[in-house]
Amino acid sequence: MAAVNKRLLQPGERIRVLVVDDSVVIRRLVTHALEQDPLLEVVGVASNGAIALQKIPQLNPDVLTLDIEMPEMNGLETLRRVRREHPQVRNIMFSTLTDRGAATTLEALTLGADDYVAKASNEGSLDRSMARLQEELIPKIKQFFHIASPTRVAAAMPAWQCATDQSIQKPRPKVIAIGVSTGGPTALGMILPLIPAGFPLPVLVVQHMPPMFTKLLAERLHSSCKLPVREASEGEPVEAGTILIARGDFHMRVAAKSGAARVCLDQSPPQNSCRPAVDALFTSIGEVYGGAAIAVILTGMGQDGLRGAGVLKAQGATVLVQDEASSVVWGMPGAVANAGLADSVLPLDRVVPEILRRTGRS
């Protein structure tokens, strides 16, 4: 899926949202949650995809929130039509935390959905549901836009940046660690199948996703990759030629036990509002492998991976970053690149060739 560049919002301009859901209660809940934010404007609602498609030319929305299960025209068919007829519109899917919901959401992401919000089947009180929507959905809508500001204040350089020694000789890599968020399933589906059979290093992946989603993602990738792919399990060895996906709602770290690197899963507090967190994996990689690693930051919202990339870079590791043009959201990779930590900033299709070159496999 080609990336859609962020749109710049001028002062006073609001993000226009069309809410598409067959439930009157959900439409009202989402509308009320979004309208609490002064930057967002719900310009309309629709009870199914067919009605939404009629309203898009009239309302000119920037973003659609799309339920998956709807009568007459469901979310997937609507998504196909919107991507074809209105490619500038961003699409965020509403998914249930079930195996079926996760599988359908992954299909939606491969069809071009920009992101998703997982909704529990029983979310409790109205107030809790409202708070959860505001916490999860609003940032996911805003991530696709730049907000114009009269003055821009330069961010302070992280303290560890000053300690990075560019003269450190890079050791031969022993592990590949990948961090990714928004746009990740599509990006991983494009690059991991390019890793050849017999690749001599382990590959560890943190994709920001909830439980069930990561298991299905691993199964989907396993069917298309030349290396075995599976969701990581507690205590399993980190083996060459294997791709391990972090389990949803668990940090994945590596630890040296009995002379071998093994997976450690834990539910310690989220880092950067994420669990699993890229920083948790990267910092543990530094503890076990030192600089003998290649860290890769792909498309995603926020700054998860920035601190861990700094830790690894200071030890001599190689840091590769996806470029802005091929990223769905250039938050995570942009943070690392702007901090001066990237050895290379690459289009998505050049990431694996660069890994192979740096591991002597090109």
To the question of pTM greater than 0.85 for the whole model, the response is: yes
Domain holding 346, by residue range, is 159-358
Q: Is 165 within the bounds of a domain?
A: yes
Average pLDDT over residues 225-254: 97
* Position 26 in a domain: yes
Q: Which of 118, 147, 176 is the last residue of a domain?
A: 147
**HEC per residue, the chain:** CCCCCCEEECCCCCEEEEEECCCHHHHHHHHHHHCCCCCEEEEEEECCHHHHHHHHHHHCCCEEEEECCCCCCCHHHHHHHHHHHCCCCEEEEEEECCHHHHHHHHHHHHHCCCEEEEECCCCCCHHHHHHHHHHHHHHHHHCCEEECCCCCCCCCCCHHHHHCCCCCCCCCCCEEEEEECCCHHHHHHHHHHHCCCCCCCCEEEEECCCCCHHHHHHHHHHCCCCCCEEECCCCCECCCCCEEECCCCCEEEEEEECCEEEEEEECCCCECCECCCHHHHHHHHHHHHCCCEEEEECCECCCCCHHHHHHHHHCCCEEEEECCCCCCCECHHHHHHHCCCCCEEECHHHHHHHHHHHCCCC
Residue 361 has pLDDT above 90, yes or no: no
Residue 217 CB partners (closer than 8 Å, separation 6+): 106, 185, 188, 207, 209, 245
pLDDT tens figures, 330-341: 999 999 999 999
Q: Tell me, what CATH number does 315's domain have?
A: 3.40.50.180
Q: What pLDDT is attached to residue 170?
A: 84
Given this model, what pLDDT does residue 168 score?
Answer: 58
Do 123 and 226 lie in one domain? The reply is no
Whether residue 133 is contained in a domain is answered as: yes
Q: What integer pLDDT is reported at residue 122 of this predicted model?
A: 55
User: In the predicted model, is pLDDT for residue 8 greater than 60?
Assistant: yes
Give yes or no: residues 323 and 189 share one domain: yes
pLDDT tens digits, 294-311? 999 999 999 999 999 999
By CB neighbour count within 10 A (0-12 exposed, 13-18 middle, 19+ buried), where does 75 fall? buried
Domain boundary among 94, 119, 147: 147
Q: Is position 152 within any domain? A: no
Q: What is the CATH number of the domain that holds 61?
A: 3.40.50.2300
264-292 average pLDDT score: 97
Q: Do 263 and 167 fall within a single domain?
A: yes
Tell me, yes or no, whether 297 lies in a domain: yes
Q: Residues 52, 116: one domain?
A: yes
Q: Clarify whether residues 139 and 171 are in a common domain.
A: no
Q: Cα dist. 39→4, 36, 85, 267 in Å?
A: 20, 9, 26, 34
pLDDT of residue 167: 53
Is the pLDDT confidence value at 91 over 90?
Answer: yes
Which residues form the catalytic set? 181, 208, 304
Residues 101 and 24 in one domain: yes
Classify residue 154: in a domain, yes or no: no
Nearest alpha carbon to residue 307 among 153, 139, 159: 159
| Residue 2 falls inside a structural domain | no
Count of structural domains, the chain: 2
Is 253 among the domain residues? yes
Per-residue pLDDT reduced to its tens digit, 141-171: 999 998 766 544 334 434 344 344 455 578 8
